[in-house]
Amino acid sequence: MTQNREGRSSGMSFGSLARRPEAGSLVGLVLVYTFFAIMGGAVFVGAPGWSSWLNIAAEVGIVALPVGLLMIAGELDISVGSVIPASQMTAAIISGHFGLPILLGIGCGLGVGLLVGYINGLLVTRTTIPSLIITIGTMFGVMGLTLGFAVLIAGSTSVFLVPTPLTKLVLGTFLGGMFNVSIFWWIAFAIVIYFLLHFSPLGNWIFALGGDRDSARNAGIPTRGLTIWLYMLSGFAAAFVGILQLMTYQNAQVATGQSFIFNSIMCVVIGGVILTGGSGSVIGIVIGTATFAIVNQGIFFSGLDPNIGSIIIGALLLAAVLSNDGFRALALKYSTKKG
């Protein structure tokens, strides 16, 4: 017995690292970065390269974090793709078209995200329809409403808005002409969600929800409330990205955001979240997002055909799913072989 214990603790550092859910994604990140550092050269490893992929990573990352929480809890959210344009269009119509105070516009834009999230959560918890289908439904619904109202009220599919200096500074500046402030918002979201998932008791509830919904409910976890809350969080984050885009480009488009649907899910999966739920980590999601963004932007620095970037992302995704399963098996096996 004691021998067993000693034997294990000596091999602990490497073993415990390899069993962490983000272990595989870290390997992927290092490989991808090295590849593009060689192909892209000094420009890619310098500030232009970093700002280019960080700007992309920040926007996807803010959405990917709460989508990752949902996936850990065993649900999907497709509707983020239409919440982004809906929130920026709402804000642009209120503050740009009607000229009302910009804070009101931002508040209503974020409110749209919370509302869509609430509806998603309600539908997912009150029906037995898979969340994939429900959120595809709400995505199309919100998309249609955004387009309809934009044309009806503003008479156009794109609405301009001139932010005040303060909102521009906080939500839409490029620091040093390169780094978008969204990067800092991404870091802030990551820290808050990292704390939520890994340190607060709530995180345990999320893992339990994804692990076994019935057992979680029997253990007294308010599963319905928690699910609705998680959908509202992802709606809010998507709406927030919509506002960030609006403040950066000063123009709301009804057609933005579709790319976020697959991209956010890919970042989460590349980050080691298991598709069936119950396992994953915020560090993994951040790593997955960075990996995705590096491939996405690195391809332009490398001089390769941009289509190769899509192939690399596709391959990464499949490799990630395979290795996620491998790491899960490793994590489970570790405990049975001793004793």
Minimum separation from the CB atom of position 21 to another protein (A): 9
Work out whether strand 251-253 and strand 158-160 pair parallel, antiparallel, or are unpaired: antiparallel
Looking at residue 255, the DSSP 8-state letter turns out to be T
Measured distance CA(5)–CA(275) in Å, rounded: 33
| Residue among 10 and 218 whose Cβ is closer to another protein | 218
Residues that bind another protein (CB under 8 A): 1, 5, 8, 195, 199-201, 203-205, 207-208, 211-212, 214-221, 274, 278-279, 328, 331-336, 339
Rounded Cα–Cα distance for residues 295 and 33 (Å): 8
> Which amino acid would we find at residue 327?
F
What minimum distance in Å lies between the beta carbon of 274 and another protein? 7
Shortest distance, position 227 Cβ to another protein, whole Å: 15
What letter does residue 95 receive in the DSSP assignment?
I
State which residue, 16 or 156, has the beta carbon closest to another protein.
16
CB of 210 to another protein, least distance (A): 8
Q: Which is nearer to another protein, 242 or 277 (CB)?
A: 277
Residue type at 109? Answer: G
DSSP state of 73: T
Q: Provide, rounded to whole angstroms, the least separation between the CB of residue 230 and another protein.
A: 17
Collapse the DSSP code of 298 into the 3-class scheme (helix H, G, I; strand E, B; otherwise coil) and give the result.
helix
Considering beta carbons, is residue 212 or 304 the nearer one to another protein? Answer: 212
Tokens of 146: 């955004």
Cβ-contact 135, 120 below 8 angstroms: yes
Separation between Cα atoms, residue 140 and residue 120, nearest integer Å: 13
What does residue 149 show for φ and ψ, rounded to 5 degrees? -70, -35
174 three-class SS: strand
Q: What residues contact residue 305 under an 8 Å CB cut-off, 6+ apart? A: none
C-beta of 247 vs 273, nearer to another protein: 273
Please state, in angstroms and rounded to a whole number, the distance separating the CA atoms of residues 284 and 21: 7
Q: Would you say 32 or 216 has its CB closer to another protein?
A: 216
- Is 1 or 152 the residue whose CB approaches another protein more closely? 1
Q: How far is CA 38 from CA 42, 282, 303, 305, in A?
A: 9, 28, 11, 16
When the beta carbons of 2 and 307 are compared against another protein, the nearer one is 2
Hey, which residues does 175 pair with through a beta bridge? 179
The DSSP secondary-structure symbol of 330 reads H
Closest distance of CB 131 from another protein, Å? 19
- Min dist CB 205 to another protein, Å, is 7
Min. distance of Cβ 25 from another protein in angstroms?
Answer: 16
